[in-house]
Every structure is written in C-alpha cells, then in structure tokens.
Amino acid sequence: MVVDERIRLLFPRILGFVVIGAAIGAGYGYETSIAAAAGLRGLTRGALTGVLIGAAVSSLGAFVLQAPGTRLARASFMVTVAVRSLVYLVVFLAAIAVGQLLVPNHPPARPVSISRDDVLFCFGATFVVSFLFEVNSLLGQNVLLSFMTGRYHRPQVEQRVFLIMDMKNSTEAAERLGEVDFHRLLNRLVTDLTGPIVLRDGQIHKFVGDELIATWPLARGLKDATCVRACFAALARLAAHGADYEREFGTTAQVRASLHCGPVVVGEMGSVKKEIALLGDTLNTAARLVDVCRERGESVIASADLLDRLVLPPGVAARSLGLIRLRGKGQAIGLCALAQGDA
C-alpha cells in the first residue's frame, strides 16, 4: 500500500522528467543526424532515448538514489555525486544502445555504435545532473532554481501553509545520550519526517534545533488537505520505526506538530551567506501553536483559519480548543486539536 501510494504521488514528477528527456533527446538526435541526411530518424531515436533516460533517472532517483534513509542519502557530497554519475552514465549509454536497436540507421550499419561524442556528452550530462541534484539537496528544494532565476531577489508576499514539528522531551534525550548520539537521533528523526512531507509536495524550509519547518504554497497545501495528510503520514512513519529508535537510542521518538496558514514575506537575505528567508506573523503564530501543544498535552494543533479552508481527510477529526491568546499576541485565535481515528 505504501509503495503504491509513493508511485501515485511520484508519477507526475516522473512523467515530467520523461517529457523533458524526450525533448532534449529529440533535439540532440536531430542535430547529430542531420549531416547524414537522417534528421527525422535521428529525432525519433533521440526522443525514444530521452524517454528511457528520463524514466530511468527519475525512477532511480525517487525510489533508490534519493530515497530518504538509504545509505547513499547519508553519504558525503562527493561520494554521492560520484555514485550518481556512475549510475546515470550506465543508464545514458544503455538507453542510447536500446534506442539504436529499436530505431537503427538506414542503411543498417553495426547494430550498436556509440561514438566518442556520445560518451563525452553522457559523461558531462551525468556529472552536471548529479552535481545539481546534490546542490539542490544541500540548499533545499527549488532554492537553487530560485537563486538562479532571481525569483526572490526582491522580497514578495506569498500565501503559505506551514507545518512545524518539534521533538518531545528533547532536552532529556540530549542529556542522556550526549551531544554526538543526540545529533544522530535528530538526524534520523528529521530524515523519517522529511520523506512523507516531500512526497506530498512539501518544502523543507529549515531545521531549527529539534524543530522542522515545512511549507507549501497555499493552494497546494490546502488541495485535498495535503498539509494535514503529510503531517499524519510523517507521524505514522515515525511510529512505524518506534522499535528501531528504542533499540538504537533507548527511546521512542515522538513529536508535536502545528499547522497554520497566511501571508509571509519571502526574499533573499545575506551577502557572504545567502538564504531564502520567510518572515512574518504567520510563521511566528505557527511556532506559538507548538507551545500550545506542549502546554495542553496535544500532539497536533491547527488554527481554525486553516481548517476553515479545507476538508479534513477521512479518519482525521478536529476538536475545538476555543479561542486562545498566544504568548506575545494581542488577539486570541481559534484553535483545534487534530487526531487520527480508526476510520
């Protein structure tokens, strides 16, 4: 069931890679074949090769190379780039060979003929693709693209949904485990939480101590209650690995979570070190909701403003907590505790 859901959620991304691969492959195939008066055949073969590459690269990335928690996901930057490049190089060359077998030259020459230009192109392409994947992973989803396009060079106001997840009893765990093992625990924790969120189009904004901040554009986060589904999917993943945490760290890692939405200012910040910063009362309020979770012993709290804009998924129920005045806020806001039942 989990695998089926991953395939369903990742299919649009894989399809996008296939379309892009077909377009690039068609262009490359046409340009390299036009001198031999075989432009149309080269275009067809290139498009087919691009489809194979796009499907293989995106599928391997999503389910094997980039899947959270895998050994490669925990490897160093250069090791990951090298392994990715090698795997993708094999994929590129195999796709070229299959393309030549299915759409052979006319008149037919050798069944498969991979030129030096093909090898150089594949080597360069695989290294660039692998390097950009890893840089994007270091900076955060779409941050590299935002820097390159200058999207947030001038600050702008956006409507966002925020999910903040905070580890319970983190101080006690840190004192008991020590700094190094506590870092391992936190790294394992955010890795487990990140997978279900990213799978549902959430962007991991940053980690602050033992806290994870995720965000969605408003429409995307509200559609089909994606933000709520992501929250409970992350909690379910954590619960499923409870025995592993108990065995490795002597504790079952648990988190509390808050959900809120509203306007924030998004823009580049810094000079020597730059980041895409999100600022505003909405994010501050979401952080205060985590405090309410802690004070009231709740696991998940959402603002009434957010819940008024969506339909809760089956099996998730909301219980009103009434109007609550948050620390540092002048006006009380409506809050609800969310819980997942058997339905």
What confidence tens digit (pLDDT) does each residue in 246-302 have? 999 988 889 999 999 999 999 999 888 888 899 999 999 999 999 999 999 999 999
Q: How confident is the model at residue 159 (pLDDT cuts 50, 70, 90)?
A: very high
Neighbours of 282 (CB within 10 A): 22
Q: What is the pLDDT of residue 5?
A: 59
CA distance 173 to 249: 9
Q: Is the peptide bond before 108 cis (omega within 30 degrees of 0)?
A: no
In degrees to the nearest 10, what's the CA dihedral of 74, 80, 83, 85? 150
Portions of the chain given CATH number 3.30.70.1230: 151-340
| Least confidently predicted of 84-88, 158-162, 336-340 | 84-88
What percent of the chain stands above pLDDT 90? Answer: 39
| Least confidently predicted of 10-14, 50-54, 120-124, 220-224 | 10-14
pTM, whole model, 2 decimals?
0.81
| 286 residue type, one letter | A
State the average pLDDT for the chain. Answer: 85
The answer to whether domain 151-340 has CATH 2.40.30.10 is no
